[in-house]
Structure formats: structure tokens, C-alpha cells
Amino acid sequence: MAKKIAVLGAGAIGSSVSADLTKAGYDVTVIDQWPAQVEQLKSTGLRIQMPDEDLQIPAMRAFHLCDLASANLEFDIVFLAVKSNDHRWLAEFIRPYLKSDGVLVGVMNGMNDDSIASIVGRSRTVGCCIELSAEIFTPGLVQRNTTHQGTWFAVGELDGFYTPRVREIQSILSHVARCDVTNNIYGAKWTKLIANTMTMGPHGLLGLRNAEAAELPGMADIAVQIGKESLAVGTALGYRIEPIFGLRADEFAGSGEENLVTARKTLMQHVGGRSRTAPIHDHLKGRRSEMEFISGLVARKGKELGIPTPCNDAVIEIDRRINQRQLKMDRANFALLKERIRALSVA
């Protein structure tokens, strides 16, 4: 019997995943809290515009959150594709609809797998590390910046074992991206988090496209400083950093700083010049960004461990001011970022 798959979250990432899995012939149900998006999926479907492909998926099986209680559905696999802000309540929401031997896979940034496991059970949780750049502002229309060849996932059991189900999930997600299996999912996810703090963190304050932000004088140096802080915290937490984005071990060889530069450069190459990082999408939509789960996590853990993180502290401070409408995203925030890093470094 074909596995019943739910994609919970129909934003840019969830829509990209559900479109590819639907095209591949899987039994996919999409569930989301955005009413206009659900209605668009049910009536017209999805259009995913990629640099090398324009994918049109006709009307899909989609449900509003409030519809699921009467739909009489249970799922073998749930791909939870939401921002970290929403992972706990949506894991609680979907738990009654996940089969007793089913599995929930968090297709998101951040270190949320233990949190998810505390809700649905560790035996029903598989970790996933993602690199997929996309954005959505119009219901039914996604701009996906990474091609299938330039998109990368890794999946892994939380205990590091290779299992038939993780191989099955790898096979399913291979329709969306290059998908590896890792016995070090926590290390892979922290390595991706480091890359996010270096890019999503400072870029998300400026409102610029990634290519524009990356070329600002001094941005590369600040990115490395941010990455070194995040690496130090991860190392102290016991995470073993590993190659990501499909890089080979020899391409990720060298000093920690060299690896940081490689990760940032590779990420920028994959997402392309037209992309904007996720916090910018959130701010443009008037929503709180998920930076508390990225740079904010480094800052909190650094404080607990006694590791100074002035660069990440400065990013999260400015991001909070943007969330609170005290600041607008603007190129001028780069000067403010540098000023706050200097002040916090000597505090």
C-alpha cells in the first residue's frame, strides 16, 4: 500500500516539496493555516518557477487546519515545513493524525528535533537538514531560487543508526533535492545553522538580495566572525561539524575558518543572485522572523557556556528591533550592526 504523506506547511518550502512529490506520484495531502493558499491549491494548484524550470501542478488535495478533524486521515510520513516559531504547536496539532508507526520529519532550519520528539515521540522523529531557497507572496505561486541540482537535503535518525525508514525518506526527498543520509544529523544541522548565522543573520537586517548583501565592504569579515562564534558554541555543545550542501570531505578540509568560508561561498552560489533570505520575507509580510531560533540560539547557548558571542548578540538585538517595528530593514542597518558589534565586544 502506498504511503500516505502529509506536507504540513504550504509556504515556499512546503509548496516546493509538495509539488515535487505530487509530480513524482506520491499520495500527498497538503495542510496549511493560510486560507488563500489552501483554496488556491484546491482550485488551481501550484506553480513553481525555478531558474531552469517552470513547474505547474494542477489542483491538489489540500486542507485548512480546521478541516482535518473531520477528514478521517492518518499519515505514514509528515513533512513539517514551517518556520521554527511554529514547530511546537503544529507538532502537537498533527500528532493525533500520525500513525503509531509513522514518522515526522522537520523540513526546516534550526535545532528543533528534540523539541519535536518530546511531542510525537523520539521513535517517530527523523531529522532533516535543508538547503532550499524559495519565496512566496502570492497564493499558488512560488519563486524557487535553487534548482533541483542545486538543492541539498540530508536526513538521519536521531540516534545515528542507518535504518530502512531513513533510506525510504531519502528516496522520497530525492525528488526534491540531492538527499544524503547522515549518521550525524545534529552535526549537519548545526553546521547549517552556522551557515545561516553567517548569511541569514546579517543579510536579514538589510532588506537586500543575498548577492548585494554579500558584496558589501566588510560583510565577509563580519560573516566569518559570526561563524567562528557559532562554531565555538557548537563545539562546546559537542556537535561534530561535517560537510554540508553536498560538499565532499576533501572540499570541507582545512581549518575551521576555511570551512566557514567554504560553507558561506557554497550557499551563496546555490541560492543565486536573485534570492532574499528568509527573515526578509517575514519582515515584508509583517511577521516575526525566526532568528531567535538561529542567531538567538547561539547567543543563548553562548551565555550559558560562558562563550562571548557579540556578533550574534548584535544581529539578534537589531532583528528584535525590526520585529518590534522600532527599525525598518535597510542597508543603513549594516553600519548599525558594525557599531553594535564593536560596543558589545568591549562590554
**CA torsion, points 221, 223, 224, 226, in degrees to nearest 10?**
120
Residue 250 is predicted with a pLDDT of 58
| Average pLDDT for 12-34 | 97
Q: 106 falls in which pLDDT band (50, 70, 90)?
A: very high
The percent of residues above 70 in pLDDT, for the chain, comes to 92
| Average pLDDT for 229-253 | 78
Alpha-carbon gap, residue 151 to 208, rounded angstroms: 22
Instruction: Look up the pTM and report it.
Output: 0.93
Q: How many residues appear in the chain?
A: 347
Residue 2 is predicted with a pLDDT of 86
Beta bridge partners of residue 62, listed in sequence order = 30
Q: CA separation (Å) from 52 to 150, 163, 199?
A: 11, 34, 24
| Average pLDDT for 41-56 | 96
Encode pLDDT of 128-176 as tens digits: 999 999 999 999 999 999 999 989 999 999 999 999 999 999 999 999 9
Running DSSP on this structure, what letter comes out for residue 2?
A: P
What the chain holds in terms of domains, given with CATH numbers, is: 4-183 (3.40.50.720), 188-346 (1.10.1040.10)
Residue 1 is predicted with a pLDDT of 57
Element (H, E) at 7: strand 4-8
Q: 207 falls in which pLDDT band (50, 70, 90)?
A: very high
Q: Per mean pLDDT, which range of 75-84, 228-237, 274-283 is the poorest? A: 274-283
Q: Is the pLDDT of residue 260 over 80?
A: no
Q: Per mean pLDDT, which range of 21-25, 87-91, 187-191 is the poorest? A: 187-191
Tell me the three state secondary structure of residue 67: helix
Residue 241 is predicted with a pLDDT of 80
